[in-house]
Amino acid sequence: MSVRNGDGSMNSYEIINNTEEKIDELEDLNGLLEYALNYLQLENVLFNVIIVDNETIHKLNREYRGVDRPTDVISFALEDDDTFVPTEVRVLGDIYISIEKARSQAESYGHSLKREISFLTIHGLLHLLGYDHMEEEEEKEMFSLQELILDGYGIKR
């Protein structure tokens, strides 16, 4: 989806379901992403949200992070790459979300699948933008921003 901002700049993203199943909860992600991009005052960004199964995300996690298990979300931030060259359009990268992990975590945390997918999407987007949670202060900043965006859009726990 491409969203033209008031100043003529454009944000573009695609939500890709690489699973065999229909996931109704993905339908509201466009609105959430538009809200988040506006909230974060982002212009001229390009990225993808890709929904996959556990097998796919396990393979990605093992190959790129050296962790031999499935995970919930992995972000491949292109601006983190040493070969990154700034351009007029910021190509942020890709966010991979495991639908199976999202389902099990939603159940464990006692909230909806929509809430979990939304959380993972915003979490992944913030990683693409350089946010991290390795240190306590970074985690506080990133998780606070996630909640502000989700709450602001009306996605509560």
Assign residue 86 the CATH number of its domain: 3.40.390.30
Distance CA 78, CA 85 (A): 10
Give the domain extent around 56.
2-153
pTM of the model: 0.91
pLDDT in tens, 84-125: 666 788 899 999 999 999 999 999 999 999 999 999 999 999
The residue among 6 and 62 whose pLDDT is bigger is: 62
Judge whether 28 and 44 are in contact, CB under 8 Å: no
Look up residue 41 and give its DSSP letter: T
β-pairing, 73-77 vs 45-52, is: unpaired
Q: How far apart are the first and last CA of the chain?
A: 27
pLDDT in tens, 37-53: 999 999 899 999 999 99
User: How confident is the prediction for the chain on average, in pLDDT?
Assistant: 91
* pLDDT band at residue 79 under the 50/70/90 scheme: confident
Domain count, the chain: 1
- 55-59, 101-105, 113-117, 132-136: segment of lowest average pLDDT: 132-136
As a whole number, mean pLDDT of residues 136-142 equals: 93
